[in-house]
Amino acid sequence: MATFYPPSSEARFHALRLLPGQEVFSALHTFVQQHQLQAGWIAGCTGSLSNVALRFAGREETTLLTGTWEIISLNGTLELTGEHLHLAVSDPHGAMLGGHMMPGCTVRTTLELVIGELKSLAFSRQPCAVSGYDELVISSR
Beta bridge partners of 121: 140
Alpha-carbon distance 61 to 38, whole Å? 28
- Domains parsed from the chain with CATH numbers: 11-118 (3.30.1330.80)
Q: What is the pLDDT of residues 109-135, one digit of tens each?
A: 999 999 999 999 999 999 999 999 899
The angle subtended at Cα 91 by Cα 88 and Cα 97, nearest 5°, is 35
Q: pTM, whole model, 2 decimals?
A: 0.91
Percent of the chain with pLDDT over 90: 86
Q: How confident is the model at residue 70 (pLDDT cuts 50, 70, 90)?
A: very high
Which secondary-structure segment (H or E) carries 69?
Answer: strand 63-79
Alpha-carbon distance 126 to 84, whole Å? 13
